[in-house]
Structure 1
């Protein structure tokens, strides 16, 4: 069995979901009530892959909402409690989705293996970052040519280049895609210099320097709310892949010649018959999902019950090959630009 640990996109959405599930006492509570609410296994699902492999899965709502991010102890407890519930339910491999993965890494929850009387088995959990990195790279490779960008001549900026996903994307684009030049953007200089050395190339720039030079921009860092960018300084055409969470580039950049694509999202070949992706505001919630969630499904399809994506900078090209081949084989495709964007590019 595979498991998915997720959460609502906002407190208001969470209350609506709780009401729909019949948890009226929680739905009517304030944020303090929600802070003490335990995780809930809210849905079971059966999935059959494109090659006929059948698996069973479960969705666990951590009862975390983004409004809790400022409460360290609460955020930490929410993620660990959800992981404990997944393990107690006997789930073979569980993906940490949305902010649960970010909380796990940034708050270094590896130091908290004991949850009450349960010792968490790390090998039963995955961040899903390997599949996410592979999907983002394929989104660039497939969609850039459709709007007239030749990647062999293109400059590609990776914002958040030193993170787990960002560094994997950089390695793939450098060694497999063969982009003309990588523009490396991150907050800390030392990790950037280490990455540049590891790649054997790439130009280190700050955000303001990189954006006007880039034919394509991959965002794998959260976009600061206060960031203001003059869209007239960007190239035309310019492909932006929003690989951060939450996805909010549309409101900042979408416009003439600028094509914004939701990064790290895949679409299954047929309807799944679940409700869980309604929370994530997917265009096709019966088929589309975050690539990190799909990684748990793929590992279950492949009977590979291991913490496939775990820790920082452990994603190899070989792991990306494995999960990418499995993704295609079992019926997933990467999300592409919509028809309106493609028509605008042609015009």
Structure 2
């Protein structure tokens, strides 16, 4: 059995979702009440692979909202209590989605081995980052050529390059043989370490990288205050919004700039669930975050272990493994709308 731990994108959206699910006391409560509220197992689902195998799953809402991020103790407690609920519910492998995996890593929750009377079994949980990194790389490889971008000559900027997903994307792009890697991150020393391990890549600040890049892979959250000078961007430019929340399209809207929601997959058939209705998916019955899909893939494969765990532990071999399984069970990376690539082809002609 697989599990998915998620949360709402905002407090107001959470209250609206609570009302639609019949939790009126949550819908009417203030933020302090939500901070004290326990996680909820809100939905169970049955999913069938393209291979014919059927598995059972559950969605747990951590009752966390981004407005709680500055309340460090609350954020930490929300994630740990949701993990405790997943384990007590007998779930074999659970993916941490959205901010829950970020909180887990940034606050080093591995130190918290016990929650209430439950000894947490880390083997039951995965961040889903390996599958997310693989999906982002597929989105680059499959969509750049549609825009006339030759990856063998292209400059690919990775924003958040020294992070777990970002470093994996860099290693994949290096193996793929892109023209040049542009490395961007907030902290300089991890970037230097990454550059050394790769044996290549140019470290730039964000503005410099944006001016030079044919492809930009964002695997870092965008500050609300960030402004992008779209006039300085190369045209065409493919941008993969692999951060959370996905708000790059509102900051980089311009002719010749193509923004794709990164780290999202589409399943081969509809799933009878409600959980993706509030995640702004174009096809909520089929589309989901790649980190969630990792838990499903691992359950299909009977791999009940923390496949993605810790920082900078993603290998190309693991990406190949989860990618092959992803395709086999009927997942496909989200791509540009056909109209977008057709319009570009006509413009070039």
Equivalent residue for 1:37? 37
Q: How does 1:306-321 map to 2 (within 5 A)?
A: 306-321=305-320
The answer on 1:166 being equivalent to 2:166 is yes
TM-score between both structures, scaled by the size of structure 2:
0.98
Equivalent residue for 1:76? 76
- How far apart are 1:188 and its partner, in Å? 1.4
Range with bigger deviation, 293-302 or 100-109: 100-109
Q: How does 1:44-83 map to 2 (within 5 A)?
A: 44-83=44-83
Range with bigger deviation, 331-340 or 301-310: 331-340
Equivalent residue for 2:105? 105
Q: CA RMSD in A?
A: 0.7
Q: How does 1:329-340 map to 2 (within 5 A)?
A: 329-340=328-339
* Local SS of the residue matching 1:168: helix
Q: How does 1:178-257 map to 2 (within 5 A)?
A: 178-257=177-256
Instruction: Give the Cα–Cα distance (whole angstroms) in 2 for the partners of residues 140 and 254 of structure 1.
Output: 19
Instruction: Give the Cα–Cα distance (whole angstroms) in 2 for the partners of residues 327 and 90 of structure 1.
Output: 24
Equivalent residue for 1:85? 85
Instruction: Give the Cα–Cα distance (whole angstroms) in 2 for the partners of residues 219 and 21 of structure 1.
Output: 33
Q: How does 1:127-146 map to 2 (within 5 A)?
A: 127-146=127-146
* Local SS of the residue matching 1:253: coil
- How far apart are 1:339 and its partner, in Å? 2.7
Gapped regions of structure 2 (runs ≥ 5): none
Instruction: Give the Cα–Cα distance (whole angstroms) in 2 for the partners of residues 259 and 243 of structure 1.
Output: 14
- How far apart are 1:344 and its partner, in Å? 2.8
Moved over 2 A (4+): none
Gapped regions of structure 1 (runs ≥ 5): none
Q: Deviations over 1:236-269 (max 9, x none)?
A: 0000000000001101112200000000000000
Aligned residues: 346
Instruction: Give the Cα–Cα distance (whole angstroms) in 2 for the partners of residues 187 and 20 of structure 1.
Output: 40
- How far apart are 1:343 and its partner, in Å? 3.0
Instruction: Give the Cα–Cα distance (whole angstroms) in 2 for the partners of residues 173 and 5 of structure 1.
Output: 30
- How far apart are 1:340 and its partner, in Å? 3.3
Instruction: Give the Cα–Cα distance (whole angstroms) in 2 for the partners of residues 272 and 148 of structure 1.
Output: 35
* Local SS of the residue matching 2:42: strand
- How far apart are 1:16 and its partner, in Å? 1.2
* Local SS of the residue matching 2:158: strand
Equivalent residue for 1:16? 16
TM-score between both structures, scaled by the size of structure 1:
0.99
Instruction: Give the Cα–Cα distance (whole angstroms) in 2 for the partners of residues 245 and 284 of structure 1.
Output: 19
Instruction: Give the Cα–Cα distance (whole angstroms) in 1 for the partners of residues 231 and 222 of structure 2.
Output: 19
- How far apart are 1:185 and its partner, in Å? 0.4
